[in-house]
Amino acid sequence: MKVLAIHTSPNSDGLTATMAQMALDGAQAAGATTELIHLCQMKLERCRQCEQGWGLCRREGKCVIEDDFQAIRKRIGDADAVVISTPVYFGDVSEVTKAFFDRLRRCERHSDPSALKGTPVLSIAAAGGGGGGGPTTLVNLERYYAVLGWPVFDGMTVTRRSREYMLIAARAAGEKLVKHIEGQG
């Protein structure tokens, strides 16, 4: 059993990253192997919308851009579950999250069959600043997941004010995610 977390904040030790790590700690406590990807440290370009919007991604489920995207996609495919932890910017996911999911959904939508379809996902929306926008961020993530065919295991929002108890909740969610996949809960 492998759980992969992708955190998408430029801050490698802030709330977004800490929540992702706590979910992985819970998954590991339940017996899973874990991996954390810091998406902002990867080379990742935005979609070029080649060939009037649909290029190789539509024909073959592949992207023409040579960066870290395909390696991340493979790591997702090797995982049994995914944790997505994004900061909340203007009531939405971070820009790097958008760039990644825009490409992923184009490629996976036309992959037959999609190797990623059915991958359970735990969503975390970390609203630092004023603390708002977490629920709309979760809704926007679910729109990406719908195209990918990812069932939502759970979605959680966290703010600076709720940090202390939400860290405990993230760890519990990671543990429960593994038990759910193994059929124990």
Check residue 114 and give its pLDDT.
73
Q: Six-digit token pair at 112?
A: 């037959």
* pLDDT of 47 higher than 70: yes
Rounded to an integer, the average pLDDT of 123-139 is: 93
Calculate the alpha carbon distances from 94 to 2, 101, 159 in Å.
25, 11, 16
Pick the CATH number of 2-181 from 3.30.930.10, 1.10.1530.10, 3.40.50.2000, 3.40.50.360: 3.40.50.360
Q: Which of 100, 158, 90 is nearest to 124 (CA)?
A: 158
What does the pLDDT look like over 76-116, one tens digit per residue?
999 999 999 999 999 999 999 999 999 998 888 776 667 78
Please list, in sequence order, all residues whose beta carbon lies within 8 angstroms of the beta carbon of residue 127, skipping any fewer than 6 positions away. 87, 88, 133, 134, 137, 157, 158, 159
How confident is the model over 19-35, as pLDDT tens digits? 999 999 999 999 999 99
**pLDDT score of 60 more than 90:** no
How large a percentage of the chain has pLDDT more than 70? Answer: 97
The percent of residues above 90 in pLDDT, for the chain, comes to 77
